[in-house]
Amino acid sequence: MSTLARYSLVAMVAGCSAAISAGAMLALAPTPLRVARLAAPDFRLETLGAAPSAAVLKGADGHYWAEGQVNGQPVRFLVDTGATAVALTPQDAERLGFRPQDLNYAYRVTTAGGRSRAAAVTLSSVSVDGARLEDVGALVIEKGLDTSLLGMSYLGRLARFEATREALFLQP
């Protein structure tokens, strides 16, 4: 068999494999999502058979800024899917009742501001636009964090989250 014939055969098998995989993924995909625009700027994600989810609108700077409630106190978060955990500034941690000077900074972390130390804490509850979770692990970052981050210790426990051009939808 010539080299050209081998390449053609490999390309054909790869194409068939991709088509079969795509079909399987579509067959296994959850119910298609439908985004309904309510009174602007209030967006809601609806899935058939599921409760509407929370929405975080994209800011003018292109980032998703969430106004959350942590242990019943307001906290402004930058949504960061690259952050392993919810990360709190020492100022936010103190407002939430933690004493940053008494925490055990046993973890080494790298933030956009460089390397720092972090202390593990548990937040009784974190809620963003009604998407509430309890007992959320978090880190208090000793230095170098300008704003608290809504990371994967919260986002990863949601049933679903989805980013669109206008908003980030959270489904508890």
The CATH number given to whatever domain includes residue 49 is 2.40.70.10
Structural domains in the chain (count): 2
For the chain, the maximum distance between any two Cα atoms, rounded to a whole number of angstroms, is: 74
The whole domain housing 14 covers 1-30
Please, are residues 155 and 127 in contact by the beta-carbon 8 Å criterion?
no
pLDDT at 52: 56
Average pLDDT, consecutive stretches of 10 residues, N- to C-terminus, the chain (172 residues): 42 38 38 36 44 86 97 97 97 97 96 93 97 98 96 97 94 92
Question: Does residue 91 share a domain with residue 120?
Answer: yes
Q: Kindly report whether the peptide bond that precedes residue 30 is cis, defined as omega within 30 degrees of 0.
A: no
Question: Does residue 163 share a domain with residue 125?
Answer: yes
pLDDT at 112: 85
pLDDT at 82: 94
pLDDT at 33: 34
Question: Does residue 147 share a domain with residue 65?
Answer: yes
pLDDT at 50: 54
pLDDT at 146: 94
Beta bridge partners of 75: 68
